[in-house]
Amino acid sequence: MHVHWENAVPFIAWMRPYGRRYLKADVFAGLTVAVVALPQSMAYALIAGLPVQYGLYASIVPAVAGSLWGSSAHLITGPTTAVSLVVFSTLGDMAPPGGAAYLELAFVLAFLIGIVQIAMGVARLGALLDFVSHAVLLGFTAGAAVLIAFKQLPGLLGIKVPGGGFFFEALFRLLTRIHQLHPATVILGAVTIAVILGLKKYRPHWPGTLVAMVLVGTAVAVFNLDSRGVAVVGAIPRRLPPFHLPSLTAAEQVGRLMPGALAIAILGLVEAVSIAKTIADVTRQRVNVNQEFIGQGLANIGASLFSGYPGSGSFTRSAVNFRAGGKTPMSAIVSALAIAVTVLAAAPLAAKLPLAALSGVLIVVAYELIRQKDIVRTVRATRSDAAVLVITFLSTLLLSIEFAIYVGMLLSIGLHLAKTSHPRIYSVVPDLATGKLVGSAHGQTCCQMDIIQIEGSLFFGSATFVLDDLQRRLRHHPDAANLLIRMHHVNTMDASGIHVLEIVLDQIRRWGGGLYFSGVNHRVFLVLKNSGLLRDIGETRIRSATGHAIRQAMRETFCPGICATCEVAVFQECPELKQGNWEIFGPGVQPRLCLGPQPDKR
């Protein structure tokens, strides 16, 4: 397979013309993103069951790799809420969260995810994301938001609750311990939420999350609240993300990690591509989906090798980057460098940061994840969309969260196949006044030929339905030995569709009739040709216009005796044919010689 150099080093395309006109805007946007990313990254690490510094590490090297090898000018790669939640769900039963074994599994998981994503990008499988419907994303995101908010309640209330179990089990354990809440912890968490929401409303351009965390962290330090039972983050190592090869011991768990890795790979790609496309719709930038797959894959491999954990494109940080005026992927690199400098220079300042503040941040994030207007619109749109959304939501709450992604995808695909497996099939006749084809009314169809309109694809999913419908129509028209199929709205056909037409052709030939087609597009025509069915049908019996196909059927296969006794006039040619005038098709044209009565079709 030939790989063009632009695919191997795509960043050359925007680095070559890079100049001072972009640098100022990118530096400002990158620093703005870093202000948002610092508290978010630490909070998201808690969701994943990791020490907070690993969230910071996951925002450095992955952000650089994703920006250099991706295709979006504004996408910022790093930890996200949904991916962090699936990471915890995947690893939570394999090792104690936060321990050395857990960290090694997280590194291996990130590596597997990266390999899967790169493989999908190289194989150009971007079209697969089309099968993850908007309803699946809404349902999964809403379910994940509820789980994230719920998981933060113990930290917000200062209650120690054993982990594990399903949603309602954990809820019951929390309710039975509600009397153990710690007042100072509750106040700090509530202040964090109030400051974030207040600044978002009255000072939307201020870094509300950072202000809130500085405020409550200062309160803990001044009043020495950590010695009074308030849980704090503790000291963060003042160092850059250390290079680390995943251990062979953790690599032995690949079989158990792979289902979660595949789910996170798909979820991460859906997140990243959706965000990139949303911003590109405004900026008119072209997003290469397959290149974005490779960029996200390399970002996750970078996380694996430099002490991070799996991530994806962040909607919040990408939106901040766009609103702050970022022009090129350099803004993501600036944000990563700013976070790295902060880790080196200011890591000890996080020691007094209360965990309740991070829980408050995540509860606000979880609330904002629930897109209420989109959910209402989707539920009202169609029953199938509503079913996919609700079932995905409930699966996220009640089942393993990575399994919920598969449930939503399979349900979407199943409903899509259910729709496409029943193409619309109906009989049509020409309107004698206008010449246009209309649905046959009151059974006024030709005695010798039925004209069928098929609207949908002829493929393995619809083959049985189409065959049953065509055979039923043939049985209900015992004298109509000929069949004309209008395929103007048949976009695709496969071997199963060919098999259906072979059965119909064989049946019609046994009855002494002919099979005709009109409006066959080029792709379907090639399938007919390559399969050999075109030779069996006869290339002259496939016409572009329905009128031409009708006249050819009349000339080749209509019986004059049947026309003479037919009580209806369906076509403009019918009056002449009833009188035996076949020269309307050309001088010297004679009717077909019909021997004996038509065969019984029963």
pLDDT tens-digit readout, 99-126 = 999 999 999 999 999 999 999 999 888 7
- The per-residue pLDDT for 602 is 46
Two tokens at 277?
Answer: 């496309």
- The per-residue pLDDT for 103 is 94
Q: Which long-range contacts link 528-534 to residues 24+ away (Cβ below 8 Å)? A: 528/493, 528/498, 531/495, 531/498, 533/498, 533/501, 533/502, 533/505
Average pLDDT over residues 202-209: 87
Can you spell out the DSSP letters for 358-419? Answer: HHHHHHHHHHHH--HHHHHHHHHH-HHHHHHHHHHHHHHHHS-HHHHHHHHHHHHHHHHHHH
CA-to-CA distance for 68 and 369, rounded, in angstroms?
28
pLDDT band at 4 (very low <50, low <70, confident <90, very high): low
Two tokens at 125?
Answer: 């499988």
Range of lowest pLDDT (164-178, 291-305, 423-437, 499-513): 164-178
CA 392 to chain CA mean position, Å:
13
Average pLDDT over residues 470-488: 86
312 phi/psi in degrees, rounded to 5 = -160, -170
- The per-residue pLDDT for 440 is 73
- The per-residue pLDDT for 1 is 44
- The per-residue pLDDT for 350 is 79
CA-to-CA distance for 554 and 578, rounded, in angstroms?
12
Residue 512 φ/ψ region, left for φ over 0, alpha for ψ in the -120 to 50 degree band, beta for the rest: left
Strand partners of residue 78: 312
Closest listed residue to residue 563, CA positions, set 549, 547, 580: 580
pLDDT band at 310 (very low <50, low <70, confident <90, very high): very high
Range of lowest pLDDT (3-7, 123-127, 347-351, 459-463): 3-7
Residue linked to tokens 């050359």:
12
- The per-residue pLDDT for 536 is 93
What is the strand order of the sheet 515-518 is part of?
437-439, 424-430, 449-455, 482-489, 515-518, 542-543
Residue linked to tokens 């491999």:
301
Fold of 424-585: Transcription Regulator spoIIAA (3.30.750)
- The per-residue pLDDT for 478 is 67
The residue among 195 and 275 whose pLDDT is bigger is 195
The residue among 466 and 168 whose pLDDT is bigger is 466
Domain residue ranges of the chain, discontinuous segments joined by +: 22-154+172-201+208-415, 424-585
Q: Write down the mean pLDDT value for the chain.
A: 87
Residue linked to tokens 């996380």:
303
Closest listed residue to residue 133, CA positions, set 9, 256, 5, 266: 266
Residue 584, pLDDT > 80, answer yes
Average pLDDT over residues 478-483: 80
Residue 442, pLDDT > 60, answer no
For the stretch 447-457, pLDDT in tens is 889 999 999 99
pLDDT band at 235 (very low <50, low <70, confident <90, very high): confident
- The per-residue pLDDT for 87 is 94
- The per-residue pLDDT for 594 is 74
Range of lowest pLDDT (68-82, 88-102, 158-172, 580-594): 158-172
pLDDT band at 2 (very low <50, low <70, confident <90, very high): very low
Residue 335 φ/ψ region, left for φ over 0, alpha for ψ in the -120 to 50 degree band, beta for the rest: alpha
In three-state secondary structure terms, 233 is coil
CA-to-CA distance for 298 and 300, rounded, in angstroms?
5
* Pairing mode, strands 437-439 and 424-430: antiparallel
Residue linked to tokens 């996080």:
350
For the stretch 64-82, pLDDT in tens is 999 999 989 999 999 998 8
CA-to-CA distance for 245 and 70, rounded, in angstroms?
24
Residue 250, pLDDT > 80, answer no
User: Cβ–Cβ contacts within 10 Å for residue 428, how many?
Assistant: 18
Two tokens at 571?
Answer: 């076509």
Residue 597, pLDDT > 60, answer no
User: Cβ–Cβ contacts within 10 Å for residue 218, how many?
Assistant: 13
Residue linked to tokens 């019986």:
559
User: Cβ–Cβ contacts within 10 Å for residue 24, how many?
Assistant: 11
Residue 596, pLDDT > 80, answer no
In three-state secondary structure terms, 483 is strand
- The per-residue pLDDT for 163 is 64
pLDDT band at 6 (very low <50, low <70, confident <90, very high): low
pLDDT band at 164 (very low <50, low <70, confident <90, very high): low
- The per-residue pLDDT for 567 is 83
Kindly report the pTM of this predicted structure: 0.74
Residue 593, pLDDT > 90, answer no
- The per-residue pLDDT for 467 is 94
pLDDT band at 441 (very low <50, low <70, confident <90, very high): low
Report the 3 state secondary structure along 81-145: HHHHHHHHHHHCCCCCCCCHHHHHHHHHHHHHHHHHHHHHHHCCCHHHHHHCCHHHHHHHHHHHH
Residue 263, pLDDT > 60, answer yes
- The per-residue pLDDT for 67 is 94
- The per-residue pLDDT for 165 is 62
Beta carbons of 31 and 323 less than 8 angstroms apart: no
Residue 512, pLDDT > 90, answer no
Range of lowest pLDDT (2-6, 43-47, 96-100, 235-239): 2-6
Average pLDDT over residues 200-220: 89
Residue 347, pLDDT > 80, answer no
